[in-house]
């Protein structure tokens, strides 16, 4: 059995959540997308994101933090955010 952890994937790229942050993409690539859930609504007893901030970020840790973010946007659903993230990372949809 492998010691490597298996990540949930979307469109073939890792999708990792920690609290209200979702990281989409492969850390070995030049860029990843960070999705921050800013607010949620209850729908059928489940919290559903209704405001999210998206940031395309360079994975080069030698860059100053302010230069790591190359694109940003805000959307009203997680689906819209993932759609934009796929476009930014050029993942075939």
- The DSSP secondary structure of the chain, one letter per residue, reads ---SPPPPEETTEEEEEETTEEEES-TTSSEEEEEEEEEEEEETTEEEEEEEEEEEEE--TTS-HHHHEEEEEEESSHHHHHHHHHHHTT---
- pLDDT tens column, 16-57: 999 999 999 999 999 999 999 999 999 999 999 999 999 999
- pLDDT tens column, 63-77: 998 899 999 999 999
What pLDDT is recorded for position 3?
54
What pLDDT is recorded for position 1?
45
């Amino acid at each position: 059995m492998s010691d490597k952890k298996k990540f949930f994937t979307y469109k073939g790229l890792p999708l990792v959540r920690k609290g209200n942050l979702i990281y989409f993409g492969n850390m070995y690539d030049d860029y990843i997308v960070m999705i921050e859930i800013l607010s949620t609504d209850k729908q059928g007893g489940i919290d559903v994101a209704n405001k999210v901030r998206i940031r395309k970020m360079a994975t080069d840790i030698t860059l100053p933090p302010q230069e790591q973010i190359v694109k940003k946007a805000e959307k009203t659903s997680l689906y819209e955010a993932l759609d934009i993230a796929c476009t930014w990372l050029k993942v075939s949809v």
